[in-house]
Amino acid sequence: MNNEYIYYEFLKILDPKKVLRDAPMKDHTSFKAGGCSDFLIIPDTEDEIKLVIETCKINSVPYYIMGNGSNLLVKDKGFRGVIIKLGKRFSKCTLIDNILDCQSGVFLSRLARIAMENELSGFEFASGIPGTLGGAVTMNAGAYDGEMKDVLLSVRGLDMDGNIIELVNGDLELGYRTSAVKKRNMVVLSAKIRLEKGSKKKIKEKMEDFDQRRKSKQPLELPSAGSTFKRPPGHYAGKLIEDSGLKGFVVGGAQVSTKHCGFIVNINNASAKDIIDLIDHVISTVKTAFNVELEPEVKIIGED
């Protein structure tokens, strides 16, 4: 890949401020670890997203779409290609009656506040999930008493051929941490969420209750990617890990949280390798102890 050539190709379609070179991905991910991406692109329109992806495909440049980076780890040697970040620049929301139509870069916490301010109930469960709408749709994110499948009306996205398509709830194949969006490698552009009229006071109380539960049970004060592992059928990952004697286990600067064993946290300037090695050790130990195969929720990309 000729980085100079690619850089000037991007400048034909984007403001230079939206094209970052050798971007340290630890500054853009919640683990606060990992290497650099050759390019980090931060678009703010659908046309820019389409043009960036087209440029990557024409020039055979690998690319990856990210949101808030709350479920992403870039390996220490970095990502040879382009990471497209859909975040604050791509986060407009429109409210019509009880339906919120939002771009995929909106933070779930902001979306929950918008719903509360407009006395709309049903999105309280997502108020503390540290991610964006696009990632939540792709993974059918959920917590406490709700999942995205309960509120999603439809999703607009780019398919693998660059076509904009819209899928309604019944076509989204929403399951535990999966969806048709994920299976088809679609890029989420926007989604419509249907909520119900409610009491602002009760909505706020529910959000505050969930917030207090998270603070008491989860290591929110330390860098992490949230729950590191998917819930294995018939088990809880955190309990399996704790029962395997791994509570507080450390590899380099990474640790199995002493507050919640389902979380791996960055306690001392951990490298991506520290985190990956600890994930692998947890998987191996739990497999040996209980014959249960843990599967990471964290997406790991980049060069070894």
Q: Are 74 and 25 in contact (CB under 8 A)?
A: yes
Q: Is 297 one of the annotated active-site residues of the chain? A: yes
Distances (CA, A) of 2 to 9, 40, 53, 61, 264: 11, 16, 17, 10, 37
Tokens for 190, please give them: 């926007």
Q: Which of 46, 119, 173, 297 is catalytic?
A: 297
Does 227 qualify as catalytic in the annotation? yes
Ranges of beta strands (E only) in the chain are 19-24, 36-41, 63-66, 72-74, 79-85, 93-96, 99-103, 120-121, 142-143, 146-147, 152-158, 164-168, 187-194, 196-197, 250-251, 254-256, 264-266, 299-301
Instruction: Return the percent helix, strand and coil in the chain, to nearest 5.
Output: 35, 25, 40
Which residue of the set 91, 179, 227, 271 is catalytic? 227
Given the residues 110, 177, 194, 214, select the one marked as catalytic.
Answer: 177
127 given a catalytic annotation? no
Active-site residue list: 177, 227, 297
